[in-house]
Amino acid sequence: MKKGFSLIELVIVIGLLLIISAVSFVAIRSLLNSFQQISINTIEQTFNDAARNARYNYNNSDWGVYLTVDGTNNLESITLFSGTNYASRDTAYDQKINFDKQLIPVTIDLTDIYPYTGDGYEVIFEQTSGESHQIGTIELYINEETYNITINEIGVPTN
């Protein structure tokens, strides 16, 4: 009896490995697309929460969103906060969400946001009216796709 693999056995094993690889690739791509959509929804929802909290006068205060980025404009975290600006906020109301740039890198462009207060990385919504003086578009770049969140004069974030 000869020891070793026949050609048919080798072809079957290679075929099975190719099928498993293809299914795995599709599953991983689908998972990454889900993470990408979750990132976009989280960012947009944080802006909506800030505008809503300001309009409903929650905590009797302005509300804002602070975007922490690294030196290459990769989003590290986003913080929903209560206060007239990030520096003087009431930290008891902070809601911080961290982003893993190794998993889903989110690059942002804030050049279109008019910096009314702060350093251009915060967007403030005024108490009761919900209006924002930082109007413009925040561009998000995720996996070579561009998503926009626009803050209009009446403080309504849209994409």
Strand 106-109 versus strand 63-69 pairing type: unpaired
Average pLDDT value over all residues in the chain? 86
137 pLDDT band (50/70/90 cuts)?
A: confident
Question: Is 1 within a domain?
Answer: no
pLDDT tens track for 90-135 = 999 999 999 887 777 888 887 666 554 444 478 899 999 999 888 8
Supply the range of the domain harboring residue 117: 7-158
Task: Note the pLDDT of residue 1.
Answer: 62
pLDDT tens track for 41-94 = 999 999 999 999 999 999 999 999 998 888 778 888 999 999 998 889 999 999
Question: Is 27 within a domain?
Answer: yes
Overall domain count for the chain = 1
- 10 Å CB burial of residue 124 (0-12, 13-18, 19+) is buried
2 pLDDT above the threshold of 80: no
Question: Is 2 within a domain?
Answer: no
User: Residue 143 sits in a domain of what CATH number?
Assistant: 3.55.40.10
Question: Is 85 within a domain?
Answer: yes
Question: Is 122 within a domain?
Answer: yes
Question: Is 58 within a domain?
Answer: yes
Question: Is 40 within a domain?
Answer: yes
Q: How many CB atoms lie within 10 A of CB 146?
A: 10
